[in-house]
Amino acid sequence: MTSGKNRFFRAAAALLCLLILAVGVAAVRAENVTKTFRNEKDALKFVRTEQPTELTLENVKLTPSEMLKIRNAMPEGGILHFSTTWGGISFTDEVVDLDLKGFKGNVTGDDLEAVIALCPNVKSIDNSTKRSPSNNVMIPLCEKYPEIRFEWIVRLGKAHYCQTTQTAFSTFNEPFDEDMVSSYQMNKVAKYLYRLKALDLGHNALKDLEFVQYLPDLELLIVGDNQIKDATPLSQLKHLQYLEIFSNYITDLTPLAECTELLDLNICYDPIYDFSPIDQLESLERFWATMIRHLPEEEMERFQQVHPNVEVDFKGSHATTNGWRKHPRYKHYIWCLKNKTWIPFDEPLP
């Protein structure tokens, strides 16, 4: 009987020791363990062996993708804190605005996904100095995480690039340029270029202007020498001051009646024979309408009577002859386009 009792007590004591040990291990795992590792391999070995529920990686040089692997190796619900230097950029899991403009190397879509997974407070990621990731990676990211502001370089055509932070952009295309931007491309990416105030897409392959709905603050728009038929979307540009739409297939100026700040308008070569829709544009200073076949003399005279103070050209031999590009505003906007920065016409250039 005594022997049986002894066996019982020994078993109970052993069970109690196991329970104490289990509680001790759980208590250790519940603590926030702080570690520094030289590489991902060592960190993974530690995590898989010790299974900490909360881990701080301090002053490491691991990529976001490597740290995400480490976190995923932790017990379910495990918490990972970190301070890392990646590509020359130092940040922590508490980062709100991640600035990658000085990043050494190329950022991948997987890297950005990992940053978002690891940094619950991140609100913006600025990668606006690198041409990677591509549109095919960035557009889905923008759609997947609409609460995060991504700054990046948008590709247009074959070799035209525009930063989402730019306020002025031009392809600087010449007639018959092989690298043309299409309406399809613009309709796909314009929403990410909403800061633009000056846009030059002259001599490209535009067939419509639907993309301007995403660019409500445009003050300058050049879309001469394209294949545009409908000017309706232009009615949304309430602050437009300079517009070149020459050498298209536009026939109706009615949408421009809404552009009440318009100063310069060039419609040369377009088959437009009624200028009355813009009769109420009191802001207009220059109007070029040369090379319009069969334009009635009566309409030219009528327009000049309605706008006696507007500088007009109905007789030039080209869209930009007779001083169209001799005006001070031409020099102004060329500087802005070259410097990718818009400065309003009524403000001096640097």
Would you give the end-to-end CA distance of the chain in angstroms?
A: 102
List, in sequence order, every residue forming a beta bridge with 150; answer none if it has no partner.
125
228 C-beta neighbours (distance < 10 Å), count: 21
Q: Using alpha carbons, select from 316, 303, 315 the residue that is nearest to residue 276.
A: 303
What SS3 state is found at 130?
coil
Statement: residue 6 has pLDDT above 60:
no
Statement: residue 3 has pLDDT above 80:
no
Token pair 């298209």 is found at 248
Whether the bond into 277 is cis, omega within 30 of 0? no
Statement: residue 24 has pLDDT above 90:
no
* 293-318 average pLDDT score: 97
Contact (CB, 8 A) for 73 and 64: no
Crossing angle of the two packed helices 109-118 and 135-144, in degrees rounded to 10: 20
Rounded alpha-carbon distances, angstroms, from residue 69 to 114, 224, 226, 242, 305: 9, 52, 50, 53, 74
Statement: residue 345 has pLDDT above 90:
yes
The single-letter DSSP state of residue 97 is: E
pLDDT of residue 30: 42
**What is the per-residue pLDDT across 152-198, written as a single tens digit (0 to 9) for each?**
999 999 999 999 999 999 999 999 999 999 999 999 999 999 999 99
pLDDT of residue 7: 58
Statement: residue 29 has pLDDT above 70:
no
**pTM metric for this prediction:** 0.89
Which parts of 51-164 fold into alpha helices (H)? 64-73, 109-118, 135-144
Sheet arrangement for strand 97-99:
97-99, 124-126, 149-151
Q: Using alpha carbons, select from 229, 172, 159, 232 the residue that is nearest to residue 204.
A: 172
* 294-321 average pLDDT score: 97
**What is the per-residue pLDDT across 33-75, written as a single tens digit (0 to 9) for each?**
999 999 999 999 999 999 999 999 999 999 999 999 999 999 9
pLDDT of residue 32: 83
Full set of structural domains in the chain with CATH: 31-151 (no CATH), 156-339 (3.80.10.10)
